[in-house]
Structure 1
Amino acid sequence: MTENSTVRSVTYDLLRSLRLTTVFGNPGSTEQTFLQEFPDDFTYVLALQEASAIAMADAFAQVTRRPALVNLHSSAGLGNSLGNLVAAYRGNTPLIVTSGQQHRELVIGEPYLGNRAATTMPEPWVKWSYEPARAQDVPEAFMRAYAVALQPPAGPVHLSIPMDDWNVPLAGFDRLRTVSDRVAPDTGRLRLFADRISASRSPALVFGPEVDRAGGWDAAVALAERLRAAVYGPPLPDRTSFPEDHPLFRGPLGMSVKTVSDRLTGHDLVIVIGAEVFRYYPYVPGDYLPAGTELLHITNDPSVAAYARMGDSILGDTRTAVELLVDLVADGAARTAPQPMPRPRLLPPAPSNPLTPPEVYAALSRVRPPDAVIVNESTSTMAQQVEWLPTVRSGSFFATASGGIGWGTPAAVGVALGDREGGVTRPVIGLIGDGSFQYSVQGIWTAAQHRLPIVYVVMRNHEYSILKSFAELEETPGVPGLDLPGLDIASLARGYGCRAAEVETAEDLEKEFTAALNAGTTTVIVVSTRPQKAML
C-alpha cells in the first residue's frame, strides 16, 4: 500500500484506466469526500440542476461512444435527475451514475440527507443499482458498473456510496477488466431472414436509433440500395440512421397504429432494424400491419424484441447484422425502385408575421453549415424539421428517447463537449420550443461558461402547441395550463451569460444565425412563430 492510499485514490486510478475522467454533476455535501482535492487531469462539468447533468452526460457519452460518469447528491439530487435518467435508459446510453449516501454510522437512524431507498429509488430506469457492503468494495463496484453499463443493451447504472467510504485506507485494486460491447446475431437465422427478404416483391426498411449508435449508417445505405427498398423513419426517433435526402427515403412512419399501418400499405415485408416495433403515441386504432404484410425485426435488446406486437426477431448487434445481410440478400435490381418522395416544401405566398415553423426552417436551411448537428426538442414541428433540415450524416441528429421534455437544452451542451473532447469542430443547433426551454434553462449557463459553439433557436409560440394538438385529437377540450404568456426568454439567456437576439423575420433570423456561428460562444435566438398543429 502506498502512503495515504485510500478508497478514493484507488478509485480515481481506476477511473483513469477506464477513461472516465469527465464528471458531470451538481455537488452536494455527501459527495464532497469524493470530490475533495479534485485531480488536475479530471474535468468537472457543473450543471445547475441534476436533470441537466444527466442529459449532458447522456449526449456526451453518445458522441464519444464510451460511458460517462455522473455524480449526484443523495436522494434529493437523484430524484431531480430521474426524468432524464428515463431518457438515458430508453436511449441505451452507458452512464455510471453515483449518488452520495450519509455516513455509515448514521444510516440506521434515518439521518438528514440519508437515502432510505438508495438502491431501489432509480429503478426501473437503470440496469443495475448497488450500494457496496464495505468501503473496500467501492472500486470493484465501479468496475462492475462499467461492465454492466457498456454491455448490450447498454444503459445507465447506479452506485450509492456512503460519504465516509472514500477515506478508508485501501492498498489498491488490480482487477481491471475489459468487456465486449457487441453480440453477433445467429447467422443461421439471419440466412433465413435473408431468404425471406430476397423473395419479397416490395420490401420496406425501417432503420432505428440502434443502427446509428452502432456505427451502421453506411451499411444501412448499402443494404437499402442493394435491395432497392423503400426506407422509412421510425416513429419518434432519438437518432437518425439513414440519410433523409436519399432517393429511397420515404419519410417518417408517423406515431399511431393506424398511421404506421397506412404508411406501410403496399409492402409485403417490413424489416425493422434497430428500432422498437413500434413507438406508438397517441392511440388511434387500426390494423397493426396491413393485410398480407409480414415483419422481421433485428435488435440488440431482448426486451425490445419481446414486447414487439408482431413479427419474427433476431437478437444481435445491428451494424453486424446489416453488414452480413448486404452479402446474404439477393440483388434487387429486378425490383421497381420506389419513386422519390414528393418534397413540396410549401411556404406562404407572402412572409407571415409571426413566422410559420416552415418559414423558420426554410431560413435555417439556407444558412445551416453542412456539418452542423441538430438537437431537437421542438416537439410540434418535428415533421417540418425533417422536411426542411434533413439529417444527411451519421451522428448529426439527437432527440430525447423518453418522450419527456427538458432533455434537449442540456443535451446540446453534452454534444458540444463530446465534440471538443474528440477534437471535432462543428456547430450545434438546438431547436427548442419555448415551453421545453424552461424545463432545463439553467443548462445554457454551462454552455456559456465553456464557450460552446451552440446556437439555440427557440420558437416562441406562447403555448404548449404539442399538447393542444393532442387535446384536439383526444377530444379533450378545456385543458388548463397550455398557454405560456409573459416569458422573456432573451433576457433569461443574457442573465445566464449567453448572447441573445429576438427576431421577427426570416431575413433577421438568417443574419443573427450567421453571426452566432462566428461568435465563439453560445447564442440564444428567439423567433416569434405561429403555433403549429403537430402531425400525429
Structure 2
Amino acid sequence: MRTVRDATFDVFRRFGMTTIFANPGSTEIAFLTGLPDDLRFVLALHEGSVVGIATGHATATGRPALVNLHTTAGLGNAVGALATARTNRVPLVVVVGQQDRRHLVYRPFLAGDLAGLAGDYPVWVNQPARAQDVPSAIARAWHEAVDGRGPALVIVPSDDWAEPADDAPIAAPARLHRGTAADPATLAELADLVGGASSPALVVGADADDPETWAALVALAERLDAPVWQESFAARAGFPQDHPLFAGHLPAGRARLREALGGHDVVLAVGAPVFRQYPYEQGPFVNPGTTVALVTDDVEDAHHSPVQFAVVAGPAAVCVALAERVTARSATTPAPTRPAPPRPPTDGEPLRASHVMAALAERVAADTVVVEETPSSRPDLHRLLPARAPLGFLSAAMGGLGFALPAAIGVRMAEPRRPVVAVVGDGSSLYGIQALWSAAHYGCGVLFVVLANGRYAVMDRLAEQHGAGKAPWPAFEEVSISTLAEGLGCPATRVGTHDELLAVLDEVVPTLGERTEPLVLEVAVVPDTTFAP
C-alpha cells in the first residue's frame, strides 16, 4: 500500500528537499524511522540550531531547506530562529509534528495549539484537513516559502503518515515561472530620475547579494560615478566592499544617516528597505530636497518604505536596464579613505577584536564566507574585513542571538569546498553552542573564531550610554567556550597573545577549503569601549 509518507517523500524529491534538518520527538517517529537511502537526516541538539543550520543551507543554495520540528516544545524553541529566517528572507519548509489526529479532541499529552505558536513569522501555516492532503500541503509550502521568502509551516499529526495515499493530483504546480523585469515605461521613469540627478547615491541591501546583481550594480555605480552604501544591520552584502565606490555601512540613527547621505539629490536603494534603524531619533531620514527611490523584489519592503518611487521587480534586471539607459559620467568621486589596520599589540598589550579582524583580513581568501555575530565588534569587522564576493558576509538581520554558529554549519554543508569562518562573541555563542556537535559529527570544516571578553560588552556600552546607573548583569569570565566545545566533541583551542593568534591562523586558514574538521578558536580579547550602531 502506498502511504501518505511515501507520497510526501516523492514531493520532497520533486522539489529537491532531500536533506531533513531535525531534532526529533515522539510525534515524528512514524515520519522519520526507516528513511529511504536518498533522504539525508541531519541532527542538531537544539531546535534553534536545527533552524539555524537549515537557514545557512538555504541561504547558500538559494532553495528552500526542509526542517522537522517536534510539536509545541520544538516549535516553541525554534521561534526565534524562525523569526531570523523570516527577516533574512530565507525560504524554509517546516514540518511540525502533532499528536495522533484520532484523539486530538481529547487534548492528549503532547498535543499543541501549533497554528499560532510562531506568531506572524511564518509566511504560511497549514494543518491539512485530511491525511491525504499532506503531500499537496508540502508542495504548496515550497511555493509559499519561495514567494513569501520565509518559513512555511505544515502541521502533520503523527498517524497521518501511515494512512493510505489517494491518487489525486498534487495541488501545486510542478514548476512556476516568476517574472522579474519592470515594464519599459517604469524603467524610463526611473532612468530619468537617476540619470538626471546631479549627485546620485546608491544604497544596497541583502536582497542584492547574488553575482548577477553585484555585476549590475557595479556597472550602474561606475556609470553614475555614484558612491554605494550598504544598509545598516544587513543580513548579507549587496556590493563588493573593496570596490573604490563603496562608501561604507549606513549608520542606524537618523541624524547620522542624514549626514551620510547629505549632498545627494537622489538616493536609489536596491534590495534594501528604506531605512533600517536602531536607536529612535526624531526627524526625517534624508535632508529636504533629496528624493529616495527603491528597487526591490520584496513587496513587503515596498509597502513600508517611505520613498517617492518604488519598483517591485528583480534588482539585477532593473539595474542592468538602468546602466544601459543612463549617460556615463566622468569618474570624479574620490575613493573613500580605507582604514589602516590597527598597530599590532606590543609585548604585554592585550588583544582587541580589531587585531583579530585585521589578522583574518590578511589571510582569508576572497571567496570566504564570513558569518558574523559579534555585536560590540561588528563595526571593526565591517571596517577591516570587507565582503569581496557574493555570499561573502552573512548575519542575522533580526538581531537575535544564536544564529552564526549553526548558520555557518549550514553554509558549509551546502558549499563543502568554500571557506567558512564564523566570527562570534562569547556571549553570542552560548545561544547556539549545541550546534558545534553537528559541526563535528557531520565533518563541517568551519573555523569558529570566538572573541572571548567574558561579558555582554555591547550591553555594557549601551548601559553606559543610557546613563541611568550601574547595569545589574555580571560578567561571566569563568565560562570557557573552548572547554564547552571540546565537551561537544568539537576540536578547540584558546589563544591569548597576538603571536599565538597568528600561528593558529597561518596553520588553519590555508586548509579551510578542504578541511572536514571544525575548529573553535577562542581568542581572549579585552572588551571594546565604544559602540556606535
- The reply to whether TM is greater than 0.5 is yes
1:156, 1:213 → 2: CA distance?
21
2:425 pairs, out of 433, 443, 453, with: 433
Say yes or no: does 1:246 pair with 2:214.
Answer: no
* Equivalent position amino acid for 1:169 in 2: P
Deviation at 1:482, TM superposition (A): 5.3
1:512, 1:129 → 2: CA distance?
47
1:215, 1:52 → 2: CA distance?
31
2:443, 2:165 → 1: CA distance?
40
2:193, 2:411 → 1: CA distance?
39
SS in 2 for 1:100: strand
1:202 pairs, out of 169, 185, 199, with: 199
SS in 2 for 1:63: helix
**RMSD of equivalent CA atoms:** 1.7
Where does the alignment leave 5 or more consecutive residues of structure 1 unmatched? Answer: none
| Matching of residues 507-518 of structure 1 within 5 Å | 507-517=499-509, 518=511
2:235, 2:185 → 1: CA distance?
31
Deviation at 1:136, TM superposition (A): 0.7
* Equivalent position amino acid for 1:166 in 2: W
1:259, 1:400 → 2: CA distance?
23
What does residue 135 of structure 1 align with? 131
2:478, 2:373 → 1: CA distance?
21
SS in 1 for 2:209: helix
2:486 pairs, out of 483, 494, 500, with: 494
SS in 1 for 2:450: strand
2:226, 2:348 → 1: CA distance?
39
Deviation at 1:520, TM superposition (A): 3.6
2:57, 2:203 → 1: CA distance?
26
- Pick which of 453-462 and 356-365 moved more: 356-365
| Matching of residues 191-230 of structure 1 within 5 Å | 191-213=188-210, 215-230=212-227
Say yes or no: does 1:159 pair with 2:151.
Answer: no
Check whether the contact 2:97–2:158 (CA below 8 A) recurs between aligned residues: yes
1:147, 1:310 → 2: CA distance?
29
2:279, 2:463 → 1: CA distance?
11
2:232, 2:366 → 1: CA distance?
25
Deviations along 1:295-349, one digit per CA (max 9) or x if unpaired, are: 111112222112123432111121221122111222122x632333342334367
Deviations along 1:240-275, one digit per CA (max 9) or x if unpaired, are: 011111110111111111121111111111111100
SS in 1 for 2:50: helix
What does residue 466 of structure 1 align with? 458
Q: 1:96 to 1:322 in 2, by over 3 A?
A: same
| Matching of residues 29-428 of structure 1 within 5 Å | 29-116=26-113, 118-151=114-147, 153-172=148-167, 174-175=169-170, 177-213=174-210, 215-333=212-330, 336-347=332-343, 350=346, 353-420=349-416, 425-428=417-420
Check whether the contact 1:372–1:429 (CA below 8 A) recurs between aligned residues: yes
Check whether the contact 1:122–1:158 (CA below 8 A) recurs between aligned residues: no
Q: TM-score, normalised by structure 2?
A: 0.95
What does residue 449 of structure 1 align with? 441
Q: 1:173 to 1:481 in 2, by over 3 A?
A: farther
SS in 2 for 1:491: helix
The alignment-based identity, stated in percent, is 36
* Equivalent position amino acid for 1:111 in 2: P
2:232, 2:106 → 1: CA distance?
49
Deviations along 1:94-122, one digit per CA (max 9) or x if unpaired, are: 10011101111111111111112x22222
Where does the alignment leave 5 or more consecutive residues of structure 2 unmatched? Answer: none
| Matching of residues 512-527 of structure 1 within 5 Å | 512-517=504-509, 518=511, 520-527=516-523
Q: How many residues align?
A: 526
Q: TM-score, normalised by structure 1?
A: 0.95
Deviations along 1:471-513, one digit per CA (max 9) or x if unpaired, are: 2333343222252221011111111112111111222112112
1:180, 1:448 → 2: CA distance?
39
Check whether the contact 1:378–1:436 (CA below 8 A) recurs between aligned residues: yes
